[in-house]
Amino acid sequence: MADKLLEVRNLKIEATAYPPGEKPRDITIVDDVSFQLEKGKVLGLIGESGAGKSTIGLSAMCYGRGGVRITGGEIVLNGRDIRQLKPGALRRVRGGEVTYVAQSAAAAFNPAKKLMDQVIETTLQRGEMSKSEAEQRAVMLFGKLGLPNPETFGRRFPHQVSGGQLQRAMTAMALCPKPDLVIFDEPTTALDVTTQIDVLAAIKEAIADTGVAALYITHDLAVVAQVSDDIMVLRGGKTVEYGDVRQIIEAPREEYTRALVSVREIEHEEKKPAAEPVLRVDNVTARYRGTNFDVLKNISVDLSPGQTLAVVGESGSGKSTLARVITGLLPPKEGTITFAGRELSPDMASRKRDDLRELQMIYQMADVAMNPRHTVGTIIGRPLEFYFGLKGEAKRKRIQELLDEIEMGQGFIDRYPAELSGGQKQRVCIARALAAKPKMIICDEVTSALDPLVADGILKLLLNLQKIEHVAYLFITHDLATVRAIADSIAVMYQGKVVRYGSKSEVLSPPFDDYTDLLLSSVPEMKLGWLEEVIEHRRMESAGN
């Protein structure tokens, strides 16, 4: 019988909400959640945004983010209820017995201080080790987590290392004071898929080596399946299902868990390319002003009318720059863009109004792509006025049609963006793009900020609209599951070049080039032991070379 480390009983967490135009009121974020964790075990907390998983994770440190308050239940850590502790004693729990790894290590490290000073700060604070002992331990952890030059790594500042390295450094920071429990709050979500797998493996190994227990919070069931012993599925602050990892993945009992396990099963038959493409990017090379480095190198791709070209690659591969070149925000150094049979002028300012109308764009962050002080009606109505001169009743009627098309129906026309959910906001952005009756829409990571089930809804909507409106999509994404779901053709980008291009079936079938192979094999699969298989496979391959 293993020792019990943490037992949470009937946890209740509340916050004060400030709905627009109404009186503030208390809302329950987490309701009657109970779980326990033994020493050295990993519990995965999974759910969509708003499920309360981070809030529950932080409650193990008795911490409420913002105005969040823990109002009920017991949090028994190492045999005592930490809710009853005085501030001084609680501070010794935080950063000592329990430590935290944040989603965005880039933001969670102090930009003004060296990494080493931050990593050993709590250890020194507690006086358990001398400075040189603490530094030795940090260097050991840097090495264990696979950071380059562990001896000198700590001398750098946060902005001098990559996102994946920062995430490992934060893990080292959490492990340095020899905690009993580490809370991992979406530690790999912000990383590229090829980086994620390495960080994931490093974290898993570090957990195993140090014997620490962990709460692993994520929205990605495939990821949590690789590291957890138990999983708790949360929705709206309540427990949906709680069991060991094998049962949750292989035999989920609840409907909601089944939906999570089987997410991304959109079927999309690929279409044959048409004779005349709507968009032809011909040998485009581009660089940003004041730099001497080509961000895009000789890019050539075609997109057929009414079809979808997915552009995949990790951050920094030049995907979004390609969109900027096509829209004319960044005139290319060389090469031409042909759209609907006519060559587009390189910069946007000298393009004709019809060119602008027929080429629309949807962005990743629907939040910031809309004026928060405009109603949905004004937002969608603007292109109708601008391009078609619609006014009054005719405009309102067309807005309603568009709202029907994006399945939002009556009652939304006078609402403000702040009153909409993330998925609804993205739908409004789609409607705004459609209002211009475009021939092509550039979708830049449009589902990346959304929960999987919501993202699925958006993808289905986009496919449906493509059938009705015969619009072509240039779909920029780093997510291969999305690509499988909607693409007709695929361009894989790496370091500013297209390394693989063709129809979906061609690109996704072997033989692969090295990069596409790495990319495809890095996508977490919903099965136990996947991570070990991939790591083992790669180890053998590199040994073979």
Partner 1 sequence: MNTLLKLVVQRVALGILLLFAASILIFVGTNILPGDVAQAVLGQSATPQALANLRAELGLDQPAYIRYFEWLAGVLHGDLGKSLTNGQDIAAAIGQRLSNTLFLAAVSAIIAVPLAITLGLIAVRYRDRWPDKVISAVTLASVSVPEFLLGYILMYFLAVQFHIAPSVSTIYPGMSFWAKLHAITLPVIVLVLVVQGQMMRMTRAAVLNLMQSAYIETAELKGLRPFLIIARHAFPNAISPVINVVMINLAYLVVGIVVTEVVFVYPGMGQYLVDHVSKRDVPVVQACGLIFAAVYIGLNMLADVISILANPRLRHPK
Contact residues for partner 1 (CB under 8 A)? 58, 61, 63, 65, 90-96, 99-100, 102, 104, 107-113, 121-122, 125, 156-157, 159-160
Residue with token string 């790591």:
535
Provide, rounded to whole angstroms, the least separation between the CB of residue 395 and partner 1: 40
User: What is the DSSP secondary structure assignment for residue 472, as one 8-state letter?
Assistant: E
- Residue closer to partner 1 (CB basis): 29 or 221: 29
Give the DSSP letter string of 359-370: EEEE-S-TTTTS
Helical spans, DSSP H, in 270-318? none
Cα distance between residue 533 and residue 250, in whole Å: 18
Min CB(67)–partner 1 separation in Å:
12
Q: Give min distance, CB of 78 to partner 1, in A.
A: 15
For 137, the enclosing helix (H) or strand (E) is helix 131-144
Residue 123: how many CA atoms within 13 Å on its side-chain side? 23
Which CB sits closer to partner 1, 54 or 195? 54
Supply the minimum distance, in Å, between the C-beta of residue 250 and partner 1: 35
Structure token pair of residue 111: 């930009």
Closest of 28, 43, 41 to residue 73, by C-alpha: 28
Instruction: Indicate the residue among 94 and 287 with the shorter CB distance to partner 1.
Output: 94
**E strand residue ranges, 189-340:** 213-218, 230-235, 238-244, 279-286, 296-303, 308-312, 334-339
Q: Amino acid identity of 412? A: F
User: Closest by alpha carbon to 450, among 431, 432, 413, 477?
Assistant: 477
Shortest CB 29 distance to partner 1, Å: 17
Compute the least distance from the CB of residue 297 to partner 1, in Å: 22
| Contact between 153 and 118 (Cβ < 8 Å) | no
Shortest Cβ 120–partner 1 spacing (Å):
11
d(CA 2, CA 109): 35
Residue partners of 222: CB distance under 8 A and separation at least 6? 524, 525, 526, 530
β-pairing, 472-477 vs 440-444, is: parallel
If you count them, how many residues does the chain have? 545
Shortest gap between Cβ of 68 and partner 1 (angstroms)?
12
